[in-house]
Amino acid sequence: MSLRLELLPLLLAVTLASFACRAGGFCLMRFVNVTPRIQAALKAAPLAVMVGIIVPAAVRGGLAEWLGLAVAAIVMRLARRDLVAALSGVATVALSRLMLA
């Protein structure tokens, strides 16, 4: 349990950067009129962000990762529970890596 003093300025800087992102979008929207188009854009953003997280993993992944993606998607369709589906995907990846290694 130690804290290096020379690390504190860096921790403060990354904290401020992180909070600037959290507060920035919310702040800016005060000056933007929310038209139906903007509303549609904001509604589409979460799915698109998820695509941005999934695609690089799929591109870099091998058979294990592809199986994990498929299992997570199928379990979600069947069970409709986020955590169950996600953990099934993770378990699939872990097992496949073990078997395929």
Partner 1 sequence: MPRYPWREHNKTCRRVTADPDVNFSAPGLRRGYIAAQPLALGVFIYGVTFGLLAVNAGLSILEAMLMSATVYSGSAQTATVSGLAAGAGIGASVATILMLNARYLLYGAALRPWLGQASAAQAYSSLYLLGDSNWVLAMKAHANGEADAGFIFGSGIAMFIPWVGGTLLGSLANEWVADPKVLGLDFLLVAFCTAMGMGLVKSRHDFQPVGVAVVIALIVDRFAPGGWTIVAAGLAGALSAFARKEDPT
Radius of gyration from C-alpha coordinates of the chain: 20
**According to CB under 8 A, which one of 19, 62, 63, 100 is a site residue for partner 1?**
19
Q: Does 5 bind partner 1 (CB under 8 A)?
A: no
Among 5, 53, 66, 100, which residue interacts with partner 1 (rule: CB under 8 A)? 53
Chain centroid to CA 32:
26
Q: State yes or no: residue 7 binds partner 1 (CB under 8 A).
A: yes
Residue 56 lies near partner 1 (rule: CB under 8 A): yes
